[in-house]
Amino acid sequence: MKIGFLGAGLIGTEHVTGISGLISADLIEAELFGVYDPNIGRAGEFKKKFGFKRVFSSAAELIKSDDIQVVFITAWTGAHRELVDIVAQEAKPVFCEKPLGRNLAEARSISSTIEAAGIPNQIGLILRTSPSFGFARHLLQDTSLGRLMAVVFRDDQYFPIQGHYKSDWRKDHATTGGGTFIEHSIHDVDLMRWMFGDFTQVRAISRQFAGYDKVEDLTIATAEFARGGHVTFTSIWHNILTRESSRHLEIFFENGRIVVEDEVFGPVSIELGDKPVKIFDQSDIGRWYMDASPEIMTIGPAVTAPTTLEDYRFLKALLDGRKPEPDFKVGVAAHEVVEAVYRSAKEDRPVSLPLE
Ligand SMILES: NC(=O)c1ccc[n+]([C@@H]2O[C@H](COP(=O)([O-])OP(=O)(O)OC[C@H]3O[C@@H](n4cnc5c(N)ncnc54)[C@H](O)[C@@H]3O)[C@@H](O)[C@H]2O)c1
């Protein structure tokens, strides 16, 4: 299976690093064949560093090439639409980074184009492979927790146009479609849907501190789950360069509380009634993760990037003829909540879900 990459930036590098590891360990029969990036220097670096056979001179040339069987779209968000259209014409399996598009209409159209073409597809909603969040989801099975009351979800990072970010497109609304909520907290919305299901209503405010037109760096949104219970998302882009992406999750039930201190390593704790708080550290979470996900046992030493597990699942599903997950439709469901949040903030009113 020969792989083509569209976009040789930050997340493209993570995917390629992970896939290289999988190929070197003979876990996936594939080849990193082609790359295209309008930034020719970046594409050249990819070829040199990861051994791609060829740098293509346009996205269309790469996608249409008989040498490419599967496409990874790791270009910035504003380019996804045009790239997906060409992929659909060529009917090649596709992995696309989140957000699918710059707004709900674009995401819906991208997803339906791919569905209509009948192409296997997967979206980069990476928190579904996070050990800590997966472990917290596993703890939810304890029925003695009682009914869900409220979730407090804080997501903060520095404004991603500096530090280890080598690009500044995230301050440009025409390329992003928004700020911290669509770009970062779309992951959090998906995680909440994965844990607790759909929402019925949202209410939100958003603010701009850095002053980039229509690119908010603070959103606070409260959403109600159809099953009962609420979540408050606090999504922040600040200027504390020593704080990279950080998430903190606190889930309150009638009789208990679950806390996730860090998205990868935890610790994760559970407090039930008046029993002592149980704290699970990195090694407890790691042990559970290996039991819960047999693929981790298989690919363990080849995990060289945070994206390795999602890439393995995608490529293995293609090789085995299975449907990859999570697919674009899952992405569209998260986009719908993001759109409702932006609409609520703009119109200063609650917005019901699903949207028409
Ligand atoms: N899943 C995650 O955790 C995660 C993390 C980071 C970024 N992302 C998403 O991945 C995408 C890329 O983000 P990034 O941080 O890697 O940005 P980046 O700026 O580091 O890299 C994007 C690259 O895309 C290239 N590009 C632009 N138009 C292109 C086109 N038509 N064809 C091919 N390449 C093109 C740019 O030149 C740039 O090199 C965004 O949609 C972003 O939201 C997801």
Of 252, 257, 107, 250, the C-alpha closest to 182 is: 107
Give domain status of residue 219, yes or no: yes
- Residue whose Cα lies nearest atom 11 of ligand 1: it is 76
pLDDT of 342 higher than 90: yes
pLDDT of residue 169: 98
Ligand 1 centroid from CA 37, angstroms: 10
pLDDT of 233 higher than 90: yes
Give domain status of residue 153, yes or no: yes
Q: Is 120 in the same domain as 193? A: no
- pLDDT tens per residue, range 16-50: 999 999 999 999 999 999 999 999 999 999 999 99
Give domain status of residue 353, yes or no: no
Question: Using CB atoms within 10 A of its CB, is residue 97 exposed (0-12), middle (13-18) or buried (19+)?
Answer: buried
Give domain status of residue 195, yes or no: yes
Q: CB of 271 within 8 A of CB of 277?
A: yes
Ligand 1 centroid from CA 77, angstroms: 7
pLDDT of residue 263: 83
Q: Is 166 in the same domain as 278? A: yes
pLDDT of 265 higher than 90: no
- Residue whose Cα lies nearest atom 13 of ligand 1: it is 76
Give domain status of residue 289, yes or no: yes
Q: Is 241 in the same domain as 279? A: yes
**Residue 306 CA: which ligand 1 atom is closest?**
3
Ligand 1 centroid from CA 27, angstroms: 26
Residue 82 φ then ψ, to 5°? -65, -35
**Residue 166 CA: which ligand 1 atom is closest?**
20
Give the confidence band of 87 by pLDDT, cuts at 50, 70, 90: very high
- Residue whose Cα lies nearest atom 37 of ligand 1: it is 39
End-to-end CA distance of the chain: 40
Give domain status of residue 352, yes or no: no
pLDDT of residue 264: 79
Q: Is 276 in the same domain as 343? A: yes
Q: Which of 5, 6, 10, 35 to mutate to test the pocket of ligand 1 (most atoms within 8 A of CB)?
A: 10
pLDDT of residue 90: 98
Residue 84's domain is classified under what CATH number?
A: 3.40.50.720
Range of the domain at 35: 2-126+304-327
Tokens 């040498």 sit at which residue? 67
Q: Is 262 in the same domain as 342? A: yes
Q: Is 237 in the same domain as 280? A: yes
Give domain status of residue 182, yes or no: yes
The whole-chain average pLDDT of the chain stands at 97
Q: Is 162 in the same domain as 108? A: no
Q: How many domains does the chain have?
A: 2
Q: Is 35 in the same domain as 166? A: no
> Distance between alpha carbon 239 and the CA centroid of its chain, in Å?
22
- Residue whose Cα lies nearest atom 7 of ligand 1: it is 11
pLDDT of residue 268: 98
Ligand 1 centroid from CA 128, angstroms: 20
**Residue 59 CA: which ligand 1 atom is closest?**
32
pLDDT of residue 304: 87
Share of the chain above pLDDT 90, in %: 94
Please tell me the distance from the alpha carbon of residue 262 to that of residue 133, in angstroms, as a whole number: 9
Ligand 1 centroid from CA 36, angstroms: 12
Residues with CB under 6 A from ligand 1: 6-12, 36-39, 42, 59, 74-77, 79, 83, 97-99, 124, 126, 166-167, 169, 183
pLDDT of residue 65: 98
Give the confidence band of 74 by pLDDT, cuts at 50, 70, 90: very high
Q: Is 247 in the same domain as 264? A: yes
Residue 349 φ then ψ, to 5°? -155, 160
Residue 192's domain is classified under what CATH number?
A: 3.30.360.10
Ligand 1 centroid from CA 14, angstroms: 11
Q: Is 115 in the same domain as 192? A: no
Give the confidence band of 238 by pLDDT, cuts at 50, 70, 90: very high
Please tell me the distance from the alpha carbon of residue 158 to that of residue 253, in angstroms, as a whole number: 31
- Residue whose Cα lies nearest atom 18 of ligand 1: it is 9
pLDDT of 300 higher than 90: no
Show the beta-strand stretches assigned E in the chain.
2-6, 31-36, 54-55, 70-73, 94-96, 121-123, 148-158, 199-207, 218-225, 230-238, 246-253, 256-260, 268-272, 278-280, 351-352
Give domain status of residue 356, yes or no: no
Q: Is 51 in the same domain as 190? A: no
